[in-house]
Chain A
């Protein structure tokens, strides 16, 4: 028997990166002398930035109450867009050289516009007209043409030329990161998943904010350790987490470590979870087309997942596969307050879980979470799941 999972240095490293993301980026900049670009949404083609020697870091919030964004963002725009702008206004991203957004939801757009205008250290910005819809056959070729413009803009700004060689290098590093995280997720299919949802979130989010080469080294070591690591906790109810940006540790700790009824998230269908890394770039002579296809055909964010002729949601098809492959028993839908794309899917999503006889609980997330209230609700949900015949 190997080390206890909770004591694995790799998981501690992910947590440290998660907590000290700004220190990491500053240190990276000092060591490498490169530029750091903040990106707003996981549709950003990071590989192009990375190929130019730039460190892409996802702009995230801090889950602390704030009010400084109120003059610029509508109150009913989501807490995440407020929280991210607040970080910029408070100077926590004072090391960023640039910021970019691959066109996503309205709230991210507004936060991005204000970030560009109001965070003084931003020297370069790029708004990419990424397709709103990813279920039409013209989206990938169209995105390819936009990637070409993005690449040129990055080259001009950084004074570099991004050749196929650099793109191949970046794609290789990024694909490896995706493969390794997928391998970790594969282990979660077992009856006794070695890692929790909290570990997974810290792993995925840390990959969004550190150099993928560094991340890959730690991931490889983690996979070695997990082969014979000792899992001390009881898995309990197997849950899927559905949501958008679910990087609030307090919530995951509550569900997996703070309730009398054991439960483990076995899969996170969110952009701080599997949606970020699940799909790889497939080799293509045309590197930009390869990237375009990866970003268009990845598991879509609900913002981009809608009917173009056929009444299908590709994300739902993926969730159905996960329910089966990961033996999901319950779903917690964490709805970011005011996030329209997710809210628009919720009635149909509930129907989907009902169809598969997966019980579900919907909770609304804000910048900070009402942990006491959530404890009661999650506890009742898990208790009822444990006594399914009696309560449902």
Chain B
């Protein structure tokens, strides 16, 4: 299918925001501001209440940026391995630790500056085996940075009850008192409330954008989506981020109406799974150029940054519909307690990527439903040695999909360690898979 294509008009807005974000963190102290570091999954609305000059650095996107710049990544990985850190641990984390150990900070254009900007505090969550311990050791590497991790061990959203939500809310309340104590600042509930609204807006809007990719031709391809979804991983509670996602939504909706696609030739639609090998995103371009294959997204790209309804109440079916914002749910947030409860419940219930950590059955249904809803012909799964959390259930999911007649290809790699990727072999896997699917190379048509 020949397709009209056009560059995204808001591309530069996203790019500039990301550049500013890393620079703001670097320069926070020049302006008397506060720096904090933590997982992209941290309840990032909470530190917003400390003021309007509070700048985060989320670790996973930073680790991915390091991985994109192979040489810097290798230096980080080798530096931290020399300190006795195991090579099979989270790739993002090793890049992050290695960056601290080298005392070098990487900017998104690939330049490095010294020293690595030390945060005033670390604030994160813990769901896999790594997150809280990542920041615990980072704090030690940096000479004892105050660190607080929130335990979110309460199971999948459809099984939530008040006691489970309250467990998280109580920790968030404690975290606020702790932040006040270590920063010496008075907490502003109005700023928190504003951030909580923005968070839901950013995440639910991203989900609506993802839904638009069900169209044929697909208006977006996943490699570009990586540059768009990331704002929800670095600062989703910033109202400016929510605005940018609204702008993007309008543009993508218009592309769908006008039949504008992501690829000039779309003959094969597939999904992916897991974070990609950031140092080898050329895999996506190879599929596009050689086979007219468009990657529509993944439970990673959609689920990590989006708010989705997820499992139905009976736990029998996954629903890929955007989660309601407070306005859509008819909820008015007027005080701290309501804000904390909303952000806890929204994340625990609707953050898709938190659901399947509690059952591979959830991930099977989630993946299967995505393949159906986005009209995908197949799935190409990255067996990712860099993240054990995202690899939870991948082989069981593969088995389930194959048994349900979904074509599956797998390749092994590492999202954040460029040494763990066999480029030639991966292209070989892709060629064999496409051949088995009867997809001809565009050049051979």
Which of A's residues lie within 8 Å of B, judged by CB?
A: 71-74, 76-77, 103, 105-107, 109-110, 113-114, 117, 127, 129-133, 136-139, 142, 145, 302-303, 306-309, 311, 313, 335, 338, 340-341, 343-348, 350
Q: Is A103 a contact of B174 with CB atoms below 8 Å?
A: no
Which of B122-130, B187-195, B199-207, B255-263 lines the interface with chain A? Answer: B122-130
11 new A-B contacts at CB < 8 Å, known A127-B358, A302-B133: A76-B391, A103-B153, A110-B396, A132-B127, A132-B151, A133-B126, A307-B139, A308-B149, A311-B144, A340-B129, A344-B133
> Which residues on the A side are within 8 Å of B289 (C-beta)?
none
Task: Tell me whether B393 is interfacial, beta carbon within 8 Å.
Answer: yes
Are A344 and B137 in contact, with the CB atoms below 8 A? yes
Distance of A302 Cα from B136 Cα, bound (Å): 12
Q: What is the total of A-B residue contacts with beta carbons within 8 Å?
A: 143
- 7 nearest interchain CB pairs? A133-B151, A306-B132, A142-B167, A132-B153, A129-B155, A343-B86, A344-B133
Q: Is the CB of A340 within 8 A of B149?
A: no
User: How far is it, in angstroms, between the C-alpha of A113 and the C-alpha of B397 when the chains are bound?
Assistant: 12
Candidates B146, B152, B357, B388; contact of A340 at CB < 8 Å: B388
Instruction: Return the contact of A131 from the options B135, B151, B163, B360 (Cβ within 8 A).
Output: B151
Residues of A within 8 A of B126 (CB): 132-133, 306
How many chain B residues touch A (CB < 8 A): the figure is: 53
B353 within 8 A of A: no
Known: A129-B153, A344-B89. A113 touches B393 (CB 8 A): yes
Determine the distance from Cα of A346 to Cα of B126 in the docked complex, in whole angstroms: 19
Nearest CB in chain A to that of B384: its residue: A74
Chain A: minimal CB distance from B66 (Å): 19
Contact yes or no, B132 A307, CB < 8 A: yes
Separation of A110 and B395 alpha carbons in the complex (Å):
10
- Chain B residues 79 to 128 lying within 8 A of chain A, measured CB to CB, are 83-86, 88-90, 126-128
A306→B133 contact, CB < 8 A: yes
Q: Name the residue of chain A whose CB is nearest to the CB of B395.
A: A72
For residue A134, which residue of chain B has the nearest CB?
B151
Closest to A77 in B: B388
B385 at the interface (CB under 8 A from A): yes
B140 touches A311 (CB 8 A): yes
B3 CB–A CB distance under 8 Å: no
Q: A73-B395, A113-B359, A113-B396 are in contact. Are A306 and B136 (CB under 8 A)?
A: yes
Alpha-carbon distance between A217 and B152 when the two chains are bound, in angstroms? 41
- Say yes or no for B62: interface residue by CB 8 A criterion: no
Q: Is A340 touching B153 in the complex (CB atoms < 8 A)?
A: no
Interface digits, B303-326 against A, CB 8 Å rule (1 contact, 0 not)? 000000000000000000000000
Cross-chain contact of A136 among B129, B174, B399 (Cβ < 8 A): B174
Give the shortest distance, in Å, between A242 (CB) and chain B (any CB). Answer: 14
| B55 CB, min distance to chain A CBs, angstroms | 21
B-side contacts of A107, CB under 8 Å: 388
Contact: B393 with A344, CB < 8 Å? Answer: no
Q: Pick the residue among A129, A344, A350 that contacts B358 (CB under 8 A).
A: A129
- B359 surroundings in chain A (CB, below 8 A): 113, 127
Q: Is B392's CB within 8 Å of the partner chain A?
A: yes
Within 8 A of A (CB), among B381-417: 383, 385, 388-389, 391-396, 399
User: In whole Å, how far is B311's beta carbon from the nearest beta carbon of chain A?
Assistant: 15
What is the distance, in angstroms, from A131's C-beta to the closest C-beta of chain B?
Answer: 5
Docked pose: A311 CA to B121 CA in angstroms: 12
Residues of chain A with a CB closer than 8 A to B264's CB: none
Q: Which residues of A contact B136 (CB under 8 A)?
A: 306-307, 311, 313
- Complexed CA–CA distance, A76 and B90 (Å): 12
Residues on the B chain within 8 Å of A76, using CB? 88, 385, 388, 391
Cα–Cα, bound, A133→B148 (Å): 11
CB neighbours of B86 from chain A (8 A): 335, 343, 346
Q: State A195–B394 Cα separation when bound (angstroms).
A: 45
In the assembled complex, the CB of A113 is this many whole angstroms from the nearest CB of chain B, namely 5
The answer on a CB contact under 8 Å between B171 and A348 is no
Cα A309 to Cα B174 in complex, Å, equals 9
Give chain A nearest CB distance to B401 CB in angstroms.
13
Q: A133-B149, A136-B174, A145-B163 are in contact. Are A109 and B392 (CB under 8 A)?
A: yes
Most chain-B CB neighbours within 10 Å: which of A103, A308, A346?
A308
In the bound assembly, the distance between CA atoms of A132 and B135 in angstroms comes to 15
